[in-house]
């Protein structure tokens, strides 16, 4: 990766790196330190990095990759030494405090540094020759040219990579000697001293600045110092020239340090980005493996509603009708029907389309027509995805196959319904014969007592069978009931009176607060069943000495029936499941109180069929409150039916 590529990577972050890599994994603390360190270098403050070890994570990563042009590091004595800017010869000079670390990339690198001086010298020599051949006879000219040519030949032919780094300084020092000879010959060539000063100051740092300035000053002063007569103009020139050369050398050295710091920063950024990119690729492969291993369908969307991920399970379920890159609108009728298996979801009701609009979905049941009379059941959930700025970036939709579970549930319902039908007929016959036996005048009082016990238990069993049949019927085709005028106050009062003996037997106090007559439309038997179910639960699960309070509060819009007890209470986790068919809380499942788990389920079905709601709130150890809210009809409607 070259420098241009490093800049590109540093300014265009990978979204995978943001979402899947934590700041600590990316080495942000070290990166922040490097930024502060580089800032100090840019300001000119000396920083010694030659002995500071890399982090274990960064060292191991760079050791595996080795030294690269984008993140150059020299490994020595178990430590990482940060190199500076690359030299024109391909070498890299360290900017640490232990001295110059130079590595020549090519023996031609020294010659590349020599080219500017060689070019200017050649132009000067050709100009003089064009002026007249007698220039060759001028003192110092021929010697200076020969030294410059010799230095250039050395720069070209010597294998500098095999020699110590400091040996290359011979070439710019020879250039200084060549300029000194030209000056001694009377030529005003002191400007040429800038080139070797730049070379030595840039490549060899502060020592190079000192050596080059001293050598260039001596070369410029030599003839004047040997002269017995020094003019005032010469003194001014002799003072200004060293100052200018010093300024040039220091400026070149500082510019090189800033350039080295910038390159080092780019190298660090490149190393971090490469490491993060490798980790993100690994995480991507792990994620792909996980998604293609699980048996849950997963579809990811971007903010425009196009599919970015579809795992193997969902691709198989849709038989390839959905592909990465497709818009969710192309899925057609893939998402089938609602939970009732009769209502088509349509294009707007599809979970994928809803998720693409920003809607969250919580465990909704959908059915797919698989053809040939077979159905597939899926529980669908969807959640929105957001980027680091909080802006919506897409959505993920999860399909869980419930076909086997729904088939098992249907088989259970069929079994319960069949058994209930088979039990109902003989139970009705048993109750009839028990009634005849009780009316027999020859039966003694003891026999009648036994018959009453048998009749009571048979009636309880018949009620259980009726509840099972009602639950199966409501699941298959909904609840059917009559709509007549019902005085809710009288209905609640009758139910309370029928349950009073049971409350007194359990040692409970029951109070009721009923307002004026409350006339509404509904099925009297079913509404009575709801109140009886809730009230009987309050009696069952309240300890002796407790209280039960029944309240009816009608308004112009709704009638509220509240049944509150001081019983054992219900945990929050169980409260969410109490209206589920056949569910009984673990705390009472193994207790002395028997039940089927159908009462509250049927009560909710009946209340919702009347257009109302039933809500339960409870505090463990304090009691439970159930509120039944039923809509009040238009008084004119109830008057016309009375």
Each residue of 601-640: pLDDT tens digit? 888 988 998 999 999 999 998 999 999 999 988 766 655 5
pLDDT for 505 beyond 70 = yes
Residue ranges of the domains in the chain?
A: 3-81, 108-255, 295-401, 407-477, 484-641
Q: Are the beta carbons of 567 and 542 closer than 8 angstroms?
A: yes
Mean per-residue pLDDT of the chain: 77
Q: Are the beta carbons of 467 and 461 closer than 8 angstroms?
A: no
Q: State the architecture of 484-641 in CATH terms.
A: 2-Layer Sandwich (3.30)
Read off the pLDDT of residues 119-160 as tens digits, 9 standing for 90 and up.
Answer: 888 888 787 777 766 666 676 777 888 898 899 899 898 988
Maximum average pLDDT range among 182-186, 471-475, 571-575, 638-642: 571-575
Q: Are the beta carbons of 513 and 477 closer than 8 angstroms?
A: no
SS3 state of residue 568: coil
pLDDT of residue 274: 94
**Range name among 32-41, 287-296, 358-367, 540-549 with the lowest pLDDT average:** 32-41
pLDDT for 103 beyond 80 = no
Q: Are the beta carbons of 536 and 599 closer than 8 angstroms?
A: yes
CA atoms within 13 A on the CB side of 88: 16
Q: Which residue has the higher pLDDT, 254 or 14?
A: 254
pLDDT for 333 beyond 90 = no
Beta strand residue intervals within 515-612, DSSP E: 519-522, 547-554, 558-565
Domain 407-477 in CATH 1.10.287.130? yes
Phi, psi at residue 519, to the nearest 5°? -95, 135
SS3 state of residue 85: strand
Local confidence band at 435 (pLDDT 50, 70, 90 cut-offs): confident
> Residues with Cβ < 8 Å from 226, sequence gap 6 or more?
none
Q: Are the beta carbons of 193 and 135 closer than 8 angstroms?
A: no
Give the residue-averaged pLDDT of 366-387.
88
Give the residue-averaged pLDDT of 272-296.
91
Number of H helices, E strands in the chain: 20, 17
Q: Which residue has the higher pLDDT, 487 or 638?
A: 487
Residue from 107, 43, 39, 47 nearest 82 by CA: 47
pLDDT of residue 385: 94
Burial 16-49 (b: 16+ CB within 10 A, else e): bbeebbeeeebbeeebeebeebbeebeeeeebeb
pTM over the 0.75 mark? no
| Residue at token pair 């050791």 | 63
Residue from 100, 82, 81 nearest 200 by CA: 100
pLDDT of residue 614: 94
pLDDT for 568 beyond 60 = yes
Q: Are the beta carbons of 601 and 580 closer than 8 angstroms?
A: yes
pLDDT of residue 96: 38
> Residues with Cβ < 8 Å from 37, sequence gap 6 or more?
47, 49
SS3 state of residue 399: strand
Read off the pLDDT of residues 513-545 as tens digits, 9 standing for 90 and up.
Answer: 887 788 888 988 889 889 988 998 999 889 999
| Residue 626, beta-bridge partner list | 563, 616
State what percent of residues in the chain have pLDDT above 90.
24
CB neighbours (10 Å) of residue 183? 22
pLDDT of residue 618: 93
pLDDT for 70 beyond 50 = no
Here the tokens at position 19 are: 């979402």
Residue from 85, 91, 94 nearest 51 by CA: 94
Backbone Cα Rg of the chain: 48
Domain 295-401 in CATH 3.30.420.40? no
**Range name among 11-20, 278-287, 372-381, 498-507 with the lowest pLDDT average:** 11-20
pLDDT of residue 591: 63
Q: Are the beta carbons of 55 and 30 closer than 8 angstroms?
A: yes
Per the document, the length of the chain is: 642
pLDDT of residue 546: 93
Local confidence band at 97 (pLDDT 50, 70, 90 cut-offs): very low
Here the tokens at position 5 are: 């590529």
Here the tokens at position 351 are: 């979970």
Q: Are the beta carbons of 460 and 489 closer than 8 angstroms?
A: no
**Range name among 40-54, 227-241, 436-450, 541-555 with the lowest pLDDT average:** 40-54
Give the residue-averaged pLDDT of 385-406.
92
Alpha-carbon gap, residue 611 to 629, rounded angstroms: 9
Q: Which residue has the higher pLDDT, 457 or 171?
A: 171
Give the residue-averaged pLDDT of 412-439.
78
Q: Tell me how far CA of residue 84 lies from CA of 45, 94, 114, 203, 604, in angstroms.
A: 15, 5, 21, 10, 77
**Range name among 32-36, 335-339, 406-410, 561-565 with the lowest pLDDT average:** 32-36
Local confidence band at 509 (pLDDT 50, 70, 90 cut-offs): very high
Read off the pLDDT of residues 286-325 as tens digits, 9 standing for 90 and up.
Answer: 988 888 888 899 999 999 999 999 998 888 888 878 888 8
State what percent of residues in the chain have pLDDT above 70.
74
pLDDT of residue 235: 66
Here the tokens at position 69 are: 């042009």
pLDDT for 184 beyond 50 = yes
Here the tokens at position 415 are: 């079994």
pLDDT of residue 455: 80
């Amino acid at each position: 990766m070259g420098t241009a590529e490093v800049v590109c990577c540093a300014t265009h972050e990978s979204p995978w790196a943001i979402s899947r890599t934590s700041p600590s994994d990316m080495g942000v603390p070290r990166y922040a330190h490097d930024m502060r360190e580089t800032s100090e270098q840019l300001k000119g403050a000396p920083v010694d990095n030659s002995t500071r070890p890399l982090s274990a994570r960064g060292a191991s990563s760079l050791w595996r990759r080795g030294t690269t042009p984008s993140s150059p590091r020299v490994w020595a004595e178990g430590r990482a030494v940060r190199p500076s800017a690359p030299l024109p010869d391909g070498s890299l000079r360290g900017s640490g405090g232990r001295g110059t670390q130079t590595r020549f990339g090519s023996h031609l690198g020294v010659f590349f540094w020599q080219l500017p001086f060689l070019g200017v010298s050649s132009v000067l020599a050709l100009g003089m020759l064009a002026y007249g051949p007698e220039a060759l006879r001028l003192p110092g000219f021929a010697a200076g040219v020969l030294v410059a040519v010799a230095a250039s030949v050395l720069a070209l032919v010597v294998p500098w990579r095999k020699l110590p780094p400091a040996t290359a300084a011979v070439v710019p020092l020879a250039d200084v000697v060549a300029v000194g000879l030209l000056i001694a010959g009377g030529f005003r060539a002191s400007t040429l001293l800038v080139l070797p000063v730049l070379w030595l100051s840039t490549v060899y740092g502060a020592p190079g600045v000192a050596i080059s300035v001293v050598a260039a000053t001596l070369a410029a002063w030599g003839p004047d110092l040997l002269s017995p007569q020094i003019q005032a103009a010469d003194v001014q020139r002799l003072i200004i020239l060293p100052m200018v050369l010093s300024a040039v050398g220091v400026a070149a050295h500082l510019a090189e340090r800033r350039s080295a710091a910038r390159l080092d920063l780019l190298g660090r950024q490149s190393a971090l980005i490469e490491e993060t990119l490798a980790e993100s690729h690994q995480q991507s492969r792990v994620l792909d493996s996980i998604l293609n291993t699980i048996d849950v369908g997963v579809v990811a969307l971007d903010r425009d509603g196009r599919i970015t991920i579809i795992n193997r399970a969902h691709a198989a379920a849709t038989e390839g009708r959905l592909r990465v890159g497709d818009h969710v609108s192309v899925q057609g009728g893939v998402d089938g029907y609602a939970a009732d298996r009769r209502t088509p979801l349509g294009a707007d009701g599809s979970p994928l389309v809803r998720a693409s609009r920003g809607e969250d979905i919580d465990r909704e049941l959908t059915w797919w027509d698989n053809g040939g009379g077979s159905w597939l059941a899926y529980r669908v959930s969807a959640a929105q995805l957001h980027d680091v700025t909080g802006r919506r970036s897409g959505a993920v939709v999860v399909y869980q196959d419930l076909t086997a579970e729904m088939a098992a549930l249907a088989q259970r319902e069929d079994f319960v319904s069949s058994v209930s039908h088979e039990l109902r007929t003989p139970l009705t016959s048993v109750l009839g014969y028990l009634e005849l036996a009780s009316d027999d005048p020859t039966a003694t009082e003891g026999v009648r007592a036994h018959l009453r016990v048998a009749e009571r238990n048979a009636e309880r069993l018949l009620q259980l069978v009726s509840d099972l049949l009602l639950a199966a019927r409501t699941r298959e085709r909904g609840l059917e009931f009559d709509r007549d005028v019902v005085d809710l106050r009288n209905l609640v009062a009758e139910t309370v009176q029928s349950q009073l003996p049971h409350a007194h037997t359990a040692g409970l106090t029951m109070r009721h607060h009923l307002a004026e007559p409350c006339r509404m439309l509904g099925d009297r038997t079913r509404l009575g069943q709801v109140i009886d179910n809730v009230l009987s639960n309050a009696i069952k699960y309240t300890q002796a000495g407790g209280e039960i309070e029944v309240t009816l509060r009608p308004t112009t819009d709704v009638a509220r029936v509240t049944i509150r007890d001081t019983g054992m209470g219900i945990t929050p986790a169980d409260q969410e499941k109490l209206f589920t068919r056949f569910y009984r809380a673990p705390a009472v499942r193994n207790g002395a109180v028997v039940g089927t788990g159908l009462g509250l389920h049927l009560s909710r079905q009946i209340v919702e069929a009347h257009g109302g709601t039933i809500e339960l709130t409870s505090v463990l150890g304090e009691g439970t409150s159930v509120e039944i809210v039923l809509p009040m009809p238009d008084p004119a409607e109830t008057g016309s039916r009375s």
